[in-house]
């Protein structure tokens, strides 16, 4: 765990830093993420995306966070697809860390922090995640945070020119 890692709710002022990371890391992230329109990599495109995420936060369907190292934005951690109904109470965790800050423990620490948000702030019972079958670093982050794989989705997401399988992960919160 990296002690300088924190998370907080995303803010409109984060758009420029996120756009800079995403533009610089375009090639590195291409195998793991769906194609995005060109404006995704601009501060204006990120500002629109942040506005949409914050609207989802107000509606209770998403908790969009940024990952900080020593106060600087180095990535994002998001709980999406939040189902707060008493008989469901679950959300799906997604995250990325900028290339300049990878392999320093930030992702693992950020996921641990967002699991606390899911339990303490959002009152959720179950955390879910999915990874590309080949994304071993992301799978290690999830394993270290108590997630267990529970299934494979075949031909589930179109990435880098072809349909890819995904590995589904779960963790019961409070365990």
Q: How far is CA 172 from the centre of its chain?
A: 18
Q: Using pLDDT thresholds of 50, 70 and 90, give the confidence band for residue 170.
A: very high
CATH of domain 5-129: 3.40.630.30
Q: How far is CA 46 from the centre of its chain?
A: 15
The C-alpha angle with vertex 152 and arms to 130 and 78, in degrees rounded to 5, equals 10
136-158: per-residue pLDDT in tens?
999 999 999 999 999 999 998 88
Domain boundaries defined on the chain: 5-129
pLDDT at position 88, please? 87
CA–CA separation, 56 and 126 (whole Å)? 19
20-34: per-residue pLDDT in tens?
999 888 888 887 787
Q: Is the pLDDT confidence value at 68 over 60?
A: yes
């Amino acid at each position: 765990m990296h002690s300088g890692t924190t998370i907080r709710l995303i803010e409109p002022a984060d758009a420029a830093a996120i756009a800079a990371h995403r533009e610089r890391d375009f090639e590195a992230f291409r195998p793991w993420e769906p194609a995005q329109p060109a404006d995704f990599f601009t501060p204006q495109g990120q500002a629109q995306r942040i506005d949409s995420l914050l609207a989802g936060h107000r509606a209770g369907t998403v908790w969009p966070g940024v990952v900080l190292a020593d106060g600087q934005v180095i990535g994002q951690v998001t709980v999406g697809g939040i189902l707060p109904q008493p008989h469901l109470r679950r959300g799906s965790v997604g995250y990325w860390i900028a290339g300049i800050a990878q392999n320093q423990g930030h992702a693992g620490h950020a996921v641990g922090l967002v699991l606390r948000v899911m339990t303490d702030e959002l009152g959720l019972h179950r955390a879910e995640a999915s990874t590309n079958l080949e994304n071993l670093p992301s799978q290690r982050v999830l394993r270290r945070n108590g997630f267990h794989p529970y299934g494979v989705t075949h031909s589930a997401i179109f990435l880098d020119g072809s349909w890819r399988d995904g590995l589904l992960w779960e963790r019961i919160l409070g365990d």
